Amino acid sequence: MAFNPLTEKGIPIERQFRSWSELACQPYDTREVHPYTRCRVILMNGIEVEAIINSHNAARRIADTGVKQMLALVRKAEQQQQKAVNWLIPGSESTIANTIGYEQVAVDLTSWIARHEPDPYLNQVYEFGVLEDYDHLYRYANLMDLMGERRKAEEITGDLTEILPGRPTIFHHRHPHDELRRPMTVEASSFQSILNALTVVSAEQQTMNFYMNAGNRPEDPMARSLYLEIAMVEEQHVSHYESILDPTTPELLNLALHEYNECWLYWSCMVTETDPRIKQVWETHLAMELEHLRLACEMMKEVDGIDPATVFPAQGIEAPMTFEPNKQYVRDVLARTVYNSASDSQFVPVDQLPAGHRFFDYQATVNAGDVPSESVIRRHREEFGGEYRFATEGTHPIASLQESGTAEGTTYAQVVERHTENA
């Protein structure tokens, strides 16, 4: 079922602009929508936001008036696409319910990408990040109970994603230098690796943006504190993922790669969507993106002399990105890597970090006093007599996380405590 956007015909750009009523689509029913339909909406909103930001940044660095005009024209259409997608999310969906959706996207999208990543180092990059988003889902699910929501997190995620502790959030806080990874090169990388990286960067950036803007909306001080803590981790994740991109990519090639990625993802959404009405949105936007890609390729060839045939795979893309359960895969990643940390661009077990490593000083600084991600679990135990968890595949694969789900008693906590005391 290969898909080659270079051979497909799209909607001419002059026919892409829509009226306000066309853009203000009927939102999905927050209680009836399939969890992965919600995930697709959240993902494609983030993909469009990245397309728009990337276009604006390019316009600020390009002097050629013709290129700037093309960017402005396509960007206006992308803005309309973003509005149509984002307005599918109903106002009746609370911030915390929307948050659960964001973290389900992070878990199952990053898991799929890690499973389909041909580069061993990039696979490590994705597996490292997914355990942190997995833990965020668990912390927010407990917060959801505390906020008095009428439904449980599992009613949003369905039985598709387990809700259990990952690498505890308290240990996600690392020195910024240790968030930078080795970059790929476009010429030497698998094309799937390029698409994977562009997709995850967009998704994590949108999560960062969401928390930057919505994290202060709850009234409960504990909720505000948890959003603040995790929002800082999401900034780290953007640094973590964007650093694997090739920083030497020419501006117009970068634009064409973004457009190709959008085509692949809209095609993926279209062929996997179960809601006929929303499937039509994906189909329409795919037709628009095909034209955006054509324009970007024309400009890239005309201005920079880069032939699209030398960049994009002749056979197209073999398979769509799919939202699907990754329960056993995440459990396997937990069993193998839960105690990993980072030092420069490498991933190492926390007990192998040398004495005096900057990780321990940074931990001592930011975690001084109360830590919101730990407090929310402690408060849930106090008010409900236990934690909120949702497991369908048996007990937690990490013994120290089977009972309490906190930092206490874990290898991580023991190592950090020993080093901070010595410091």
Could you report the per-residue pLDDT of 34-78, keeping only the tens digit for each? 999 999 999 999 999 999 999 999 999 999 999 999 999 999 999
Sign, CA torsion 420/421/422/423: positive
Q: What's the average model confidence in pLDDT over 264-284?
A: 98
The model's pLDDT over 222-252, given as tens digits with 9 standing for 90+, comes to: 999 999 999 999 999 999 999 999 999 999 9
Q: What's the average model confidence in pLDDT over 145-165?
A: 97
Q: What's the average model confidence in pLDDT over 141-160?
A: 97
**pLDDT(221) > 90:** yes
**pLDDT(1) > 80:** no
Tokens read off for 295: 């324009």
Confidence grade of residue 124 (pLDDT, cut at 50, 70, 90): very high
The model's pLDDT over 80-103, given as tens digits with 9 standing for 90+, comes to: 999 999 999 999 999 999 999 999
Tokens read off for 76: 């206006």
Q: Is 215 helix (H, G, I), strand (E, B) or coil?
A: coil
The model's pLDDT over 345-388, given as tens digits with 9 standing for 90+, comes to: 999 999 999 999 999 999 999 999 999 999 999 999 999 999 99
Largest Cα–Cα distance of the chain, in whole Å?
67
Q: Which pLDDT value is given to residue 402?
A: 87
Q: What is the mean pLDDT of the chain?
A: 96
Tokens read off for 39: 């995930």
d(CA 180, CA 349): 17
Q: What's the average model confidence in pLDDT over 118-132?
A: 98
d(CA 26, CA 16): 20
What does R_g of the chain's alpha carbons equal in angstroms?
Answer: 22
Q: Which pLDDT value is given to residue 118?
A: 98
Q: Which pLDDT value is given to residue 422?
A: 60
Q: Which residues contact 374 (CB under 8 A, 6 or more apart)?
A: 168, 170, 406, 407
Confidence grade of residue 417 (pLDDT, cut at 50, 70, 90): confident
Q: Which pLDDT value is given to residue 215?
A: 97
Helices (H), strands (E): how many in the chain? Answer: 14, 2
**pLDDT(129) > 90:** yes
Residue 92: phi, psi to the nearest 5?
-75, -10
Q: Which pLDDT value is given to residue 383?
A: 97
Q: Which pLDDT value is given to residue 202?
A: 98
Instruction: Give 334-381 as a DSSP string.
Output: HHHHTTEEEETTEEEEGGGSPTT-HHHHHHHHHTSS--HHHHHHHHHH
Q: How far apart are the first and last CA of the chain?
A: 57
**pLDDT(334) > 90:** yes
Residue among 212, 96, 94 nearest 143 (CA): 96
**pLDDT(18) > 60:** yes
Residue 163: phi, psi to the nearest 5?
-120, 100
Q: Is 287 helix (H, G, I), strand (E, B) or coil?
A: helix
Percentage, residues of the chain above pLDDT 90: 93
**pLDDT(184) > 90:** yes
Q: Which pLDDT value is given to residue 42?
A: 98
The answer to whether 68 and 303 are in contact (CB under 8 A) is no
The answer to whether 140 and 99 are in contact (CB under 8 A) is yes
Q: Which pLDDT value is given to residue 336?
A: 97
Q: Which pLDDT value is given to residue 404?
A: 58
Q: Which pLDDT value is given to residue 28?
A: 98
Q: Which pLDDT value is given to residue 74?
A: 98
Q: Which pLDDT value is given to residue 287?
A: 98
d(CA 161, CA 10): 36
d(CA 358, CA 342): 11
Confidence grade of residue 419 (pLDDT, cut at 50, 70, 90): confident
Q: Which pLDDT value is given to residue 423?
A: 53
Instruction: Give 175-197 as a DSSP string.
Output: -GGGG--PPP-TTTS-HHHHHHH
